[in-house]
Amino acid sequence: MENHERKDLTDAELDVLLHAWQTPIAPARLRSAVFPKQSVAWYRRWLMASIRIPVPVAIALSVLVVMALWQWGSTRERAGAESARKSFASAPPTITFQGFLPVAELRPRIIRSHHARN
Amino acid sequence: MRAIRIIGIFLIAILPAAADGPERRGTKGVSTGMGFANGIKVNATVYVEPAGPRSVFDNMSFGIYTASGDKYHRVVEDDTQRAYFGYDISTERIPNSDRIRVTIAPLSASVDELEAFGVSHKIVGFRFLVLPRYPAPVVVESGDTIALDLLVSPDGKQKIVDYLEISRKPAINLKH
């Protein structure tokens, strides 16, 4: 480089020199390194994708999702209770109430008012 | 004169017991009134028999709910077991008589309905127990009482009984 700087080449000489300069052939990987191919896996594209949503819309959607989940949970809980209710329809009760068992059959005993007065 | 005084004291002593009737020798729990649309009144009172500590009723509640006044739902809840059971009661005047037909039927109120009635506890998630058999309708007269055994101890010696006092007039404050 220093030799080139020290030589005082004219513009014409530089033009000749540039035309005569043989540039090395770029390696094949250089292009792919500088300009990567767009053939990214579809799932990576999905993962890296983004949607621009206005903040009010995002908040409204979040509220709707929370409300829907709450409603769904509530419905499931009620359905479970009703299911348990139906499942006991044919089974005798086995749960105790403060140590007492529900009777198997309600048998009304009539206490006549004249009997009570006697 | 002295004999009359002794008899008087004796009568005063036995009157409260007589008012409760010979069938009731237990500890009184809660009492609730039902006023049917047809003018019939039913006063439901829970007793534990034979008499026991009132703590028997701890964590249990005995509710009465209605939507129309034609039918009442009697609900017995246990908070610790998170379970409940009950029955429906409806009444019907028998024409040209002083008699009343009382029907005890399976509890028909759904969880949502019970919640809408304002059941004190959140009943959703409670286990519902259906009693296997329910009685045929019974015919009573005004002033009669129907006793229904609801719960019984495992040894069968103690029970919780629902006393349903049926009347055509507004319920009188019964002294149990």
Give the CA distances from residue A58 to residues A52, A53, A63, A65, A66, in Å, rounded to whole numbers and listed in that order: 10, 6, 9, 11, 12
- The whole-angstrom distance between A93's CA and the closest CA on chain B is 6
Mean residue pLDDT of chain B comes to 78
By the CB < 8 Å criterion, does B44 face chain A? no
Give the model's confidence band at B162: pLDDT under 50 very low, under 70 low, under 90 confident, else very high. Answer: very high
How many whole angstroms from its chain centre is CA B156?
A: 20
- Tell whether ipTM is more than 0.85: no
pTM of the complete model: 0.58
Query: Terminus-to-terminus CA distance in chain B, angstroms?
Result: 31
Sign of the CA dihedral with B80 first, then B83, B42, and B135 last: negative
Regions of chain A short of the pLDDT cut 50? 1-2, 87-90, 117-118
**Amino acid A84: pLDDT:** 54
B91-95 average pLDDT score: 90
Q: Smallest Cβ distance to A110: which of B110, B126, B146?
A: B146
Q: Which tokens sit at B129? A: 């127990």
B46 Cα to chain A: minimum distance (Å) = 14
Q: Where are the domains of chain A?
A: 53-87
Task: Please tell me which residue of chain B has the smallest CA distance to A100.
Answer: B153
pLDDT grade for B4, boundaries at 50, 70 and 90? very low
The whole-angstrom distance between A72's CA and the closest CA on chain B is 15
| DSSP 8-class letter at B44 | E
- pLDDT tens digit string along B27-74? 888 888 898 888 899 999 999 888 888 888 888 888 888 888 889 999
